[in-house]
Amino acid sequence: MLIVRNLRAGYGRIEALHGVSLSVRHGEIVAIVGANGAGKSTLLRAVAGLIVPWQGEVLFEERSLAGTKPPAIVAAGIGLVPEGRWLFPPMSVLDNLRLGAYLRLRRGEKEAVREDLERVFELFPILAERRKQPAGSLSGGEQQMLAIARALMSRPKMLLLDEPSTGLAPLLVEKIFETIVQLNGEGITFLLVEQNARAALAVASRGYVLETGRMVLQGKAGDLLEDQEVKRAYLGKDYREFAEGRAR
């Protein structure tokens, strides 16, 4: 469904991605894990068209996204839930959601958008309760739900999620990932990047590990969770625990 080949991208003169390739099949949840600064967000931003890649190919449903502007990428079926959510805090929950359907409303799909609003409120009852409240007054977890809900309003085939667990309490992280699994069950494909490798790999079918702009591991999510390297670097196990007790 999504194919990325030899992607190089960065900011200014700094290259953040040094030739990255990955693929996401229809119906998958693919997690990209890696430390802060590994290039995870850059990767998603390049796929979403928010930055222009320096080199490489991005294909969505066999069509190249080269030179495609973000609105056209959204229209093609890719939704982005950015890190830090990027809501419009003074606007109401409802208006934030409508903005997510901006392209569709302009096309006059008013009725369909209304139906989708109902569906989103069913999915996130808390948002229905707070539909009139300013987005800025929601808790962190509610804001993340709103950000996902807003992305759903464009009826994406694939959602790109950038650090959905950031700043959330463990219980809320669980709730967000449950939602991802549920939406996946309804046919949405996911590519998510996460520092919280354990949570991401627990719901993903496959995963990649990105390290300073390069892919260094890939595999079934379950295998990666068991991988000594992943455990050491991303699952918070102390390195010394591994180094001790054997010949150094």
Q: For binding to another protein (CB under 8 A), which residues are involved?
A: 3, 5-6, 8, 18-19, 21-23, 25-29, 184, 205-206, 214-220, 223, 226-229, 242-243, 246-247
Sheet containing 2-11: which strands, arranged edge to edge?
Answer: 14-24, 2-11, 55-60, 63-64
Least Å distance, CB 208 to another protein, is 8
- Closer residue to another protein in complex, CB, 174/223: 223
Which residues, 6+ apart, have CB-to-CB distance to 63 below 8 Å?
A: 76
- Size of the chain, expressed as the number of residues it contains: 248
- 33: which strand partners? 194, 209
What is the residue-wise DSSP string for 36-66? Answer: TTSSHHHHHHHHHTSS--SEEEEEETTEE-T
Least Å distance, CB 34 to another protein, is 13
- Closer residue to another protein in complex, CB, 22/148: 22
- Closer residue to another protein in complex, CB, 39/141: 39
Least Å distance, CB 65 to another protein, is 16
- 79-107 per-residue burial string, b: 16 or more CB within 10 A, e: under 16: bbbbbebebeeeebbbebbbebbeebeee
Residue written as token pair 């379950």: 222
E strands along 151-220, which residues?
A: 158-162, 189-194, 206-211, 214-220
Least Å distance, CB 153 to another protein, is 25
Which residues, 6+ apart, have CB-to-CB distance to 182 below 8 Å?
A: 123
Least Å distance, CB 31 to another protein, is 13
In one-letter notation, the amino acid at residue 146 is L
Least Å distance, CB 227 to another protein, is 6
- Closer residue to another protein in complex, CB, 27/170: 27
What's the token pair of residue 163?
């650090």
Alpha carbon distance 151, 116 (integer Å): 11
- Closer residue to another protein in complex, CB, 22/191: 22
- Closer residue to another protein in complex, CB, 63/220: 220
- Closer residue to another protein in complex, CB, 77/219: 219
Alpha carbon distance 69, 49 (integer Å): 6
